[in-house]
Amino acid sequence: MIVFTKIKKLLMILSCLVLVGNGHANAADKIVLRMSTPAVKIDKRSQGLQNVFAAKVSKFADYQPHYNATMFKQGTELPAIARGNLEMSITSSQEIAKLIPAWSIFTAGYLLRDWDHQQKVFKSSIGQQFYKMVEDKLGVKLLGVMYHGKRHLNLRTSKKVMTPADMAGVKLRMPGTDAWQFLGKALGANPTPMAFTEVYTALQTGAIDGQDNPLPTDKDKKFYEVTKQIILTGHLADMNFLALSQKVWDKLNPEQQSIMQDAADDAMQVISINIESNEAILEDFFRQKGLKVYTPNVEAFRKRVLDMYLKSDFSGDWPKGMVEKISAL
């Protein structure tokens, strides 16, 4: 029933797009929105932004996406927006936490449960409080949250992994921030930082033993071609935020702001539903490609990861009582 309602919503959004005109303003008069991301063009987030967001703001804005980190290196987009050198990016809690430590609460493994939980948190006063920190400190407006999928372990080695102890000595690529590296350690691995665009080759050559990402990303980036197993730890219900320069937002008139916010909401809804429904069918895809896909002792992973976060230096930066508030939602 829930799936049916979500698909109905998705169809409604997509059918409305037929009514969206291609824009009246000349290209030269439009506000340019350059968006930089390490994601590939066929990624659900790239597609949703192009097909829904770009179409809906096209009357007054010219959306120009740059994929595969060709414009800005992964992790440098937020400072670029803050400096006025870029208009948009698909950012993460881990990137924000580098600049605003309180945000590391959302990098903790096994804290947020799923897409529904993410929406509840970011539509509540908690979301408003955290969005405001980003506006005040970075001059970046977060237009909302989108689901990126549950992250699982994906290894090129074939040794079975059931608990964090089985990850000892495994050279696990994690993205290059402290929060990501800590998550790798909490999973029992030997984490190593590396940009997303380098992971495929590193798996192919054996420079790393594995990586973690949601199933749709493993498919879009073809990691299944160079790995042997996916261990369904679900250690992070991952999410991204659509980041926009506050200066650009402030230049829009109230009607344009309202159109842009609706466009972002609809795009992120479509993206999240697409990712969720793909996750549900991709296990079989990977099995057909010859990978072993199995569920480990998730409780053992959950316990170790959560314990390590709660005892870490990160938790010292979290607002008092926030873990409990988030968990209660």
Contact positions vs ligand KDO (CB under 6 A): 37-39, 43, 90, 92, 94, 175, 196, 213, 217
Nearest CB to ligand KDO, comparing residues 58 and 94: 94
Nearest CB to ligand KDO, comparing residues 78 and 293: 78
Give the 3-state secondary structure of residue 14: helix
Residue 282 CA to chain centroid, in angstroms? 18
Q: How far apart are CA 104 and CA 83, in angstroms?
A: 23
Amino acid at position 234, single letter = G
Task: Say how many Å lie between the first and final Cα of the chain, rounded.
Answer: 22
Residue 112 contacts residue 134 (beta carbons within 8 Å): no
Helix ranges, the chain (H): 2-17, 44-48, 55-57, 77-83, 93-99, 115-123, 125-138, 178-186, 199-205, 215-220, 246-251, 254-288, 298-311, 322-328
**Smallest distance, Å, CB 151 to ligand KDO?**
8
Nearest CB to ligand KDO, comparing residues 175 and 188: 175
Residues in the chain: 329
Nearest CB to ligand KDO, comparing residues 59 and 73: 73
**Smallest distance, Å, CB 39 to ligand KDO?**
4
Nearest CB to ligand KDO, comparing residues 47 and 297: 47
Nearest CB to ligand KDO, comparing residues 37 and 229: 37
DSSP 21: -
Buried b (16+ CB within 10 A) or exposed e, 227-256: bebbbebbbbbbbbbbbbbbebbeebeeeb
Q: How far apart are CA 265 and CA 259, in angstroms?
A: 10
**Smallest distance, Å, CB 147 to ligand KDO?**
12
Q: How far apart are CA 308 and CA 32, in angstroms?
A: 44
**Smallest distance, Å, CB 240 to ligand KDO?**
6
**Smallest distance, Å, CB 149 to ligand KDO?**
9
Nearest CB to ligand KDO, comparing residues 196 and 314: 196
**Smallest distance, Å, CB 72 to ligand KDO?**
12
**Smallest distance, Å, CB 94 to ligand KDO?**
6
